Structure 1
Amino acid sequence: MKFHFLLLGVLLESSLLLAQKPKQPVHRDTPFTQDYAIKYYFKDSVEPLRVFTDRNGTIKISTKTGLFQPHAGQLLYPGTLEKDVSYRPIADKKIANLSLYQQQFVLIDNKSVLSDAWAGKLFLKHSLPDAHLFAGGSDFNFLIANGSQVEYLPKQGTGWKETGLEGRVLDIKYSNGQFYVLTDKAVYSVAEGAKAVKKVYAADNLTALEVTLSKLVVGTKNGYLELDKAGKVITPLQQKLPSADITCITAISNQLWFGSSEGAFYQKPDGKFNYYASERWLPSNQVTHIAQGEDGSVLVLTDKGLGKIMFTKMTLQEKATFYEKQVRTRHIRDGFNGTLGRMKNGNLATGTLQDSDNDGLWTSMYLGGQIFRYAATKDPQALQNCRESLDAMERLYDINKIPGFPSRSYERTGYKYEDKPWRRTDDPEWDWKSTTSSDEVIGHIFAFGAMAELIDDKDLKSRSIALIDTLMSHIIKNDMYLVDWDGKPTLWGKWHPDYVNNFPINVGDRKLNSSNIVAMLQTAYHFTKKEKYKAKAFELMKKHGYYENLMRPMKIIGQAPGNASDWSKMLSGDWNHSDDEMYYMGYWGLYRYAFNDTLKANYKKAIVDHWQFERPEKDGLWNILTAITGIQDFDLEESVWYLQEYPLDMIDWTVKNSHRKDIELLPPNFIEQTTKEVLPPDELGIIRHNNSRFILDRNGRGSSEMSAGDIWLLPYWAGRYLGVISGATTNTVKK
C-alpha cells in the first residue's frame, strides 16, 4: 500500500469528519436484577434430604442425622450449617424428614406426622416406622411413604395403605385434589379421599417430580419430560440441558428450577439457561433439593451444604461502588492493582497480595478506569486513587538506574523470590523486577496519555507527560528497543524494523507492534510536541511499512507459513488474546492523538475491522473502547450484558462447562472460539481481558480473588466518560 496519499486530501477529510455526526446510543442505567450466592457448609459429612423456609423466614434442613439450620454467612464469607436444637421437646424424636404445609414446617418421625405450628394440634400417627416422604393435601390430610409403600393419613377417619407400587418411592407431591407418587419406574396418582393408586406413566430411571396446575414434570437420569395430569406426554424428553442427570425439580414463581449432579439451572423465556454451578454459587454441584426462600431467594441444597441464591435490584453505578470497595480494601499493594492470591478454598482471610510480571499493566488499566471516573464525575476519591496509582507507576522508573526503563514491579527485600528477573537496588529494603514486556509499555502510555488529557490537576498532568517523554526517549535512544539492565533488549520490547518486519505479513506480531509503536509515538508527540517522535513515526510508517502493517485486515492474520522461522510459528499457533489487550490499550493513542484527520479516519477502519473479529466474545472493554471512533453500532447492549452479568464473587473457582448439552460446540479453530455463542461471565471462570472468553473450563480451586479494577471498572468508567452509559437514574436500597 502506498503511503503518499496520507498527506493529500486532508482538508477534504477534515471537513467530512467535522460534519454533524449521528449521536451514539446511550444505556440508561436503571436497576437490573443482580444475582449472587450466600453459602453455608456442613461441618461434617451428612446425607441431606430437604430444605425449606417457613412463613417467618426461618430456614431448616433435614438430613438423615437430624435437622440443621444456617448460621452467619454473607456474600464472599460463607456460613455454616449447625444442628438445630431450637426446640428441645423433639430432641428425642427420630425425625426422618421435613416438609412445608401452608408455609409452616411439618415433620415426620418413626411414629407420626407432627408440627409445632397450629398450636401443635397436627399430630397424625402412622404405621410405617421407616417413613421419610410425605405431602399434605387440602385439609390436613397427608400421604406418606417409605421406600416401597404408601399410607394415607386423613385428618379424621381411617387411613389405608398401598404396597403394590413398582419401583422405589422417591417423592410425593400434591395438587388440586390429587397426590402424585414418584418411583424410579413409574408415576402414580392418588385421588384425595379415594383408596386407590393409579399408574399414569411408566419408564426406567425416573429421578424427580414436580406438579404444576396444568402438568407433571418428570426428571430422569437423561433429561426431563412433561405429562398432562392423565399421564400423556405433552413435551418429549428434553436433553439439551446444562446437565441431563436431573436430581430434583421445583416450580418457583412459575419458573421451573432443576437440580442435577452438576449444578442447578432454570430456563429463561429466550430458551437459554441460567446455570448455577461451581463454588461461586454452591458448596458443591451435587444438588439434592431446591426450594423457594424469602425475599425472592432460591435455596439450593447440595451434599456439602446450602447455596442461597439472592436476587436484588442494582444499577451499574451501584455495582461499580461495590467493586470500588473490593479493589481498595483487598487489591492495592504499594499502589499497584493486584491479585489476592495463595487463598485456601476461597477464604479471603487466607489471601496474600501478590506481585505480578504485569503489575504495571494491571495498574495502568485500573488507573485508566479511575481517570475516566474522575473525568465523568469529578469525584475526589477517584482523583486520590489516580494519585496513588501514579506514584506506584512513577516509582517503576525511579527504582532502577536505567534512564526511562520501567521495571515490571518492585517489592521489599526479604521476600524469597524464585524468579530470576528480580534485581537488587542500592536501597537494601527494595528489589525491582526486570525483563519488562511490551504489554507493560503500551499500558503505561495509555494511562499516562489519558491522565495528561483528562485530569485537570497540574501536578499529575505534568508528571504523566514527563513519564511519556522519558519512556519514549529511552526507546528512540536505544534504536526502537527496550533495553534492560544488561544492555540487551528485553524479549518483547522490540519495535525495530529488523524485528517487526522479519515476521511474515500474516503473523499478528507484525501488525501489533506496528500499531502499538505508532500509537505510542503519536501520544508522545501530542503531549510533548517534540519533533523526534513525529519524525520517527512517519519514518516507520513511510519507509518501513508500519502503516501497511497496522492497517492490514484481521482476516489475513493466521498461522505462519511452513518456511517461516520457528519464532514466527510459535507466536502464530493460535489467536493471542494478550495481543487483543495490547491493541486496545494502543487504540486510545492511535485514534485520539492521530497526526491528522486522514490518518484518524483510516485508523478508525483498522479499529473497527479488529472489533468485528472480537464481537463474538462480547467483551465489554473491546466494545466500549471501539466507541471512541464514533461508530453507532458498537454492541452497546452486549457491553451492558457483560457488565450486568459479571459476578460479584470474583474468586477464581473451578468452573466446568464442557459437559453441557445446551451449548453448541465448534470444531477447533485459529481464534479459539469453542462455542457458537459465548456464555455469560457468571458461568465462566474469572479471567482478565488477555484471555479468551470462550474458555469453558477453569481449574481455579478458589485460590485467588481477581481485581475488578482492570476487569470491570475500566470498561464501565470508559463507558461513563464516553457518554454511552449514563449515571444511575433511580436510587435503590440494596437488600
Structure 2
Amino acid sequence: MKNQLFLFFFMALAISACAQTSNLPKAQTIPDEPFVQDYSIRYLKEDANTDLIQVAADRNGYIQVFSSAGLLRPRAGQFLFPGTLVTDVHYRPTSDKNIASLGTYQNELVYIDDEAVFSNAWAGKLYSRHQMPDAHLFAGGKDFAFLISNGKKLRFLKDSKSLWDGNLSDDEVRDIKYDADAQLFWILGKSSISTFSPGQNKITKVLENSNVTCIEVAPGKLVVGTDNGYFEINSRTKKKTGSVQRKMPWTELTTIRYIDGRLWFGSPRGAMLLRADGGFNYYASKRWVPSDQIIDIAPGPENSVLVLTDAGVGRIYFKEMTLAEKADFYDHQVRERHIRTGFNARLDGLQDGDVTTGTLQNSDNDGLWTAMYLGGETFRYAVTNSEDALGNIRESLAAMERLYTINPMNSGFPSRSFQRAGYNKDSKPWRPTEDPEWDWKSTTSSDEAIGHAFVFAVIAELVDVEPIRTKAIELLDGLMQHIVDNDFYLIDFDGKPTTWGRWNPEYVNNFATYIGDRKLNSSNIIAMLQSAYYFTKKEIYKEKAFELMNDHGYLENLMRPMDEIGQAAEDDDDYSKMLSSTWNHSDDEMYYLGYWGLYRYAFNEELKAKYKEAIIDHWEAERPEKEGLWNIMTALVGDDNYDFEEAIWFLQEYPLDLITWSVENSHRKDIEHLPENFRGQTIKEVLPPDELPIRQHNANRFTLDRDGKGWREYGAGDIWLLPYWIGRYLDVIGAPTSEK
C-alpha cells in the first residue's frame, strides 16, 4: 500500500539557486546525501478479546495476521492515522478453513489447518495432507517438504506422504526453523534445542537450556533468544559461540527475525534492531507500535517490517530521503496544523495521538517559538529566494508586530501572546484590549525578548524586501528603546518590571558569579544592544552596552567559563537557590539565540574574539547533548568542525512523528547511568532523538522518560526547521542535488 503522505518526498524539488550567500567564514559543508528515514503506521485490533499470534506478508505485499479469531488483514491506515485489523474474507476458501498457523515459503503465504499444509500460490498445487489434526507448527524445507508438529509429535512430509515420524523425547516442541545452507531443521523445545536432518531422518540434541525462548536462522548460525539476552550457535559445528549478549534495550526476548541482513528482536518492552556498530535501534512506544508487548516480527512489503503486538501491528517503513525532503515534510506539517494567527503553535488535547482532535493553544512563549520558526523561514528565504518562505515571513512578522500594538502601552513592550476573548482559562496574566474580541497576555519574559531581538536582526539583515526589513528594524528599535528608557527592565501594564525581564546591573550583579543568570543576562543584553546599534546606528545603544561592560562588569560576566557556573551556596538567598538548583536548558536556548547578535554584530574585532571564546566554551559544555541547533549555530564563529556530523545525525534521527507519546528508556540495559549531577546528564551517551520524548530546544536531551499519553503534537518550526535552514545558510549542510 502506497502511503500518499510521503509521495512528495520523492518529487523533484523546485527550489531556485541561492539568492544570497552568508558572509560568514565557510564551515565544513556536509553533503545532503540520502539517508534512511523510518516511520510507522499502526493497525489496531478491534476486539480486545482477540489474541494475535502471527504476522506474515507474501511477495505481492499481501499482509495477514493469524489470530484466535482466524485470519485478519490491515484496513486503511496512514501515517499518524492508525488503521484497523479486520476479518480477512478476501478468499473465503482459505479463511473459512480451520487455520492453525500461518507462515511463508519462498515468499508466499502458507497455512496449516487440521488436514494439510497448503497455499494458494503455485496454482494451489501445494496441499500436503498430514493426518495430524492438532498440528500447529510447521517449517518448509527443500523441494516443498515440511516438518510439522502438534507440540508433542514431529512429522516430516512431502506430497501428503509421511517420510519420518518422531518426537523430542521428554520435551515439548515450541518452534521450527529451516536452515537452507545447512539443509536441516532447528527445533526449539521447552528446555532444549535440537536439529533434524532430513537426509538421515535423525534428531540430534544440541543444547539443553530451560531459559531459551526463541530461535532464528541467520547465515552460518542460529541466534538463540533467552529470558535474559541472546547467544549464537555455529550452524556447522553446532557449538555455542561467544557469550550471552545482554547489552540491549531489554533482554527478555519473545521473538527473533533475520530480515534483509539484519537481526530484529522482540520483547515485552518493545522491538530492537541490531545495527552494524553493535548498538540497537529501539522501537517502543506508540510512536512505533500499538503496544510494547511484541509477539512476532516479519518482513513487510515496500521495504517495511511488520511488528505484531498484543494490540495490533506496527508497520515500520524505511524510506530513503534527503534532509531537504524532510524539510518539505515538516514544512507541510507546520503549515497544515501549527499556525495560529501567524504564531507557531502546538496542538493540545489530542485523544491518543489523533491530530484531528487537538486544538491550537496559546503559549507563554508564543513570541519565542514564533521567532524561532520565523528565523528558520528567513534563513530559508536567504538560501532559496522562495516566495513561499517570504509569504510565511510576512504572516508571522505581522503576528510579532501585533504583540506590540495590541496592548495599550505603546512603548515597545511586547505582549506574551494575544487570543480571542473568552478562551483564556488562566485569567491572571490576560488583559482586555480596546477591542472586546481580543485579550492580550502580560508578564513578558526575557525568553521572548531575546527571541524577538534575534529574529528582527536576522530579518533586517537577510530579507531584501524593504517594507519587511524596515518593519523588523522598527520593532527591534522599539523593544530596545523601551528597555533602555526603563533602566534595563521590561515594564508591564502596572508600571512594574516583569518577573524575568530584568537586565539592570543592580539585579544582575546581585547574583553570585557562579549563578547562571548573572552570565546569561549579561550576554543577552549586550547581544540585544549590539543588534539594535548595528541596524539603527543610534549611539545610545552602543554607549549603554559599553557602560554595562566597562562599568558594571558585563563583559567579565558573559566571559565567565561555563565550568564555573553551578549551584548556589548554602548561605545564598532562596531566589538564587531556586534559579540554580539544576542546569537550566532554557538558558542554553537563550544564550544561543543571543549569540547571533553577540558575535555577528560585535562592536569591534577585539570583542569578537572574546565572544568567540565564550561561545566555544559554552559549546564544549553542551557537546555531550549532541544538540543539532547548538552545533550548527556554533559555525557562526569560524570554519572549524563543531561536531557537524552529530548535528546531521540529530536532524536525520529526529522522528517524523512529533506527538508526545509516553516514552520510557530508564529501564534499558544498553545504557550507562551516571550519578546525579548539576548538568542533569543521566547517562553516558545521549540516545537518538527518535527514541526520546519529543521536546523543544529548551529541554534536557538526557531526559529518558515522559508520560506524554499522545496528548500534544509539537510543530517542527522551531524544533527542526530552524536548525536545518540555519545550517543551510551557514554552509554546514549542503544543498540537495536538485538545487545545484
The TM-score normalised by the length of structure 2 is 0.94
2:108 counterpart residue number = 104
2:677 counterpart residue number = 669
Q: Quick check: 1:690 aligned with 2:698? A: yes
What whole-Å deviation, never above 9, does each CA across 1:508-537 have from its counterpart, x for those lacking one?
000000000111111111111111111111
What whole-Å deviation, never above 9, does each CA across 1:403-439 have from its counterpart, x for those lacking one?
2111111100121523411111111000011111100
Q: Quick check: 1:29 aligned with 2:32? A: yes
Asked if 2 retains the 8 angstrom alpha-carbon contact of 1:33 and 1:313, the reply is yes
Q: Quick check: 1:68 aligned with 2:92? A: no
**Which amino acid letter does the alignment assign opposite residue 552 of structure 2?**
H
**Alpha-carbon separation, structure 1, partners of 2:170 and 2:438:** 75
Secondary structure of 2:423's match?
Answer: coil
**Which amino acid letter does the alignment assign opposite residue 702 of structure 1?**
G
Structure 1 window deviating more from structure 2 (546-555 vs 85-94): it is 85-94
**Alpha-carbon separation, structure 2, partners of 1:127 and 1:650:** 53
Asked if 1 retains the 8 angstrom alpha-carbon contact of 2:659 and 2:714, the reply is yes
2:431 to 423, 428, 443: 423
**Which amino acid letter does the alignment assign opposite residue 39 of structure 1?**
R
**Alpha-carbon separation, structure 1, partners of 2:645 and 2:95:** 56
**Alpha-carbon separation, structure 2, partners of 1:519 and 1:165:** 79
Structure 1 position 228, deviation (Å): 1.6
Structure 1 position 92, deviation (Å): 3.5
Q: Quick check: 1:87 aligned with 2:91? A: yes
1:224 counterpart residue number = 230
Asked if 2 retains the 8 angstrom alpha-carbon contact of 1:293 and 1:299, the reply is yes
How do 1:159-558 and structure 2 match up within 5 A? Answer: 159-176=163-180, 177-229=183-235, 230-402=237-409, 403-558=411-566
Structure 1 window deviating more from structure 2 (111-120 vs 373-382): it is 111-120
Structure 1 position 119, deviation (Å): 2.0
Asked if 1 retains the 8 angstrom alpha-carbon contact of 2:248 and 2:279, the reply is no
What whole-Å deviation, never above 9, does each CA across 1:167-225 have from its counterpart, x for those lacking one?
44221101132111112311111111544322111111211100123111110110001
1:657 to 662, 665, 670: 665
Structure 1 window deviating more from structure 2 (219-228 vs 71-80): it is 71-80
Secondary structure of 1:158's match?
Answer: strand
Structure 1 position 400, deviation (Å): 0.4
**Which amino acid letter does the alignment assign opposite residue 73 of structure 2?**
Q
Q: CA RMSD in A?
A: 1.6
**Alpha-carbon separation, structure 2, partners of 1:278 and 1:190:** 39
Secondary structure of 1:288's match?
Answer: strand
1:10 counterpart residue number = none
**Alpha-carbon separation, structure 2, partners of 1:195 and 1:33:** 45
1:152 to 127, 149, 156: 156
**Alpha-carbon separation, structure 2, partners of 1:510 and 1:276:** 42
**Which amino acid letter does the alignment assign opposite residue 490 of structure 1?**
T
**Which amino acid letter does the alignment assign opposite residue 314 of structure 1?**
M
What whole-Å deviation, never above 9, does each CA across 1:242-280 have from its counterpart, x for those lacking one?
110111111112211111111111221212111111111
Secondary structure of 2:54's match?
Answer: strand
2:620 counterpart residue number = 612
Secondary structure of 2:734's match?
Answer: strand
Asked if 1 retains the 8 angstrom alpha-carbon contact of 2:24 and 2:636, the reply is no
What whole-Å deviation, never above 9, does each CA across 1:133-163 have from its counterpart, x for those lacking one?
1111112211112233322223254344334
Task: Give the total of aligned pairs.
Answer: 713
**Which amino acid letter does the alignment assign opposite residue 536 of structure 2?**
T
1:625 counterpart residue number = 633
Structure 1 position 730, deviation (Å): 5.5
**Which amino acid letter does the alignment assign opposite residue 650 of structure 1?**
L
**Alpha-carbon separation, structure 1, partners of 2:345 and 2:25:** 40
2:10 counterpart residue number = none
**Which amino acid letter does the alignment assign opposite residue 265 of structure 1?**
M
Secondary structure of 1:231's match?
Answer: coil
What whole-Å deviation, never above 9, does each CA across 1:31-68 have from its counterpart, x for those lacking one?
11111111111111221121111111111111122111
Structure 1 position 484, deviation (Å): 0.9
1:48 counterpart residue number = 52
Asked if 1 retains the 8 angstrom alpha-carbon contact of 2:129 and 2:161, the reply is no
**Which amino acid letter does the alignment assign opposite residue 261 of structure 2?**
N
What whole-Å deviation, never above 9, does each CA across 1:319-370 have from its counterpart, x for those lacking one?
1111111100000001000101110111111111111111000000000000
**Which amino acid letter does the alignment assign opposite residue 90 of structure 1?**
T
Structure 1 window deviating more from structure 2 (716-725 vs 84-93): it is 84-93
Asked if 1 retains the 8 angstrom alpha-carbon contact of 2:26 and 2:730, the reply is no
**Alpha-carbon separation, structure 2, partners of 1:568 and 1:496:** 16
Secondary structure of 1:724's match?
Answer: coil
**Alpha-carbon separation, structure 1, partners of 2:51 and 2:477:** 66
**Alpha-carbon separation, structure 1, partners of 2:432 and 2:169:** 79
Q: Label 1:108 to 1:228 Cα distance change in 2 as closer, same or farther (>3 A).
A: same
1:584 counterpart residue number = 592
2:19 counterpart residue number = none
Asked if 2 retains the 8 angstrom alpha-carbon contact of 1:166 and 1:186, the reply is no
**Which amino acid letter does the alignment assign opposite residue 31 of structure 2?**
R
**Which amino acid letter does the alignment assign opposite residue 518 of structure 2?**
R
**Alpha-carbon separation, structure 1, partners of 2:172 and 2:246:** 24
**Alpha-carbon separation, structure 2, partners of 1:607 and 1:166:** 70
**Alpha-carbon separation, structure 1, partners of 2:456 and 2:543:** 21
Runs of 4+ with >6 A deviation: none
**Alpha-carbon separation, structure 1, partners of 2:706 and 2:453:** 32
**Alpha-carbon separation, structure 2, partners of 1:150 and 1:704:** 52
**Which amino acid letter does the alignment assign opposite residue 166 of structure 2?**
E
Structure 1 position 296, deviation (Å): 2.0
**Which amino acid letter does the alignment assign opposite residue 570 of structure 1?**
M
**Which amino acid letter does the alignment assign opposite residue 619 of structure 1?**
E
Q: Which runs of 5+ in 1 are unaligned?
A: 1-19
1:711 to 708, 711, 719: 719
What whole-Å deviation, never above 9, does each CA across 1:650-702 have from its counterpart, x for those lacking one?
11111111111111111111111111111111111111000011111111111
Secondary structure of 2:104's match?
Answer: strand
Asked if 2 retains the 8 angstrom alpha-carbon contact of 1:64 and 1:96, the reply is no
**Which amino acid letter does the alignment assign opposite residue 101 of structure 1?**
Y
**Which amino acid letter does the alignment assign opposite residue 186 of structure 1?**
S
What whole-Å deviation, never above 9, does each CA across 1:599-621 have from its counterpart, x for those lacking one?
11110100010000011111110
Secondary structure of 1:567's match?
Answer: helix
Asked if 1 retains the 8 angstrom alpha-carbon contact of 2:262 and 2:273, the reply is yes
**Which amino acid letter does the alignment assign opposite residue 707 of structure 1?**
G
Structure 1 position 22, deviation (Å): 7.5
**Alpha-carbon separation, structure 1, partners of 2:451 and 2:337:** 22
Structure 1 window deviating more from structure 2 (64-73 vs 586-595): it is 64-73
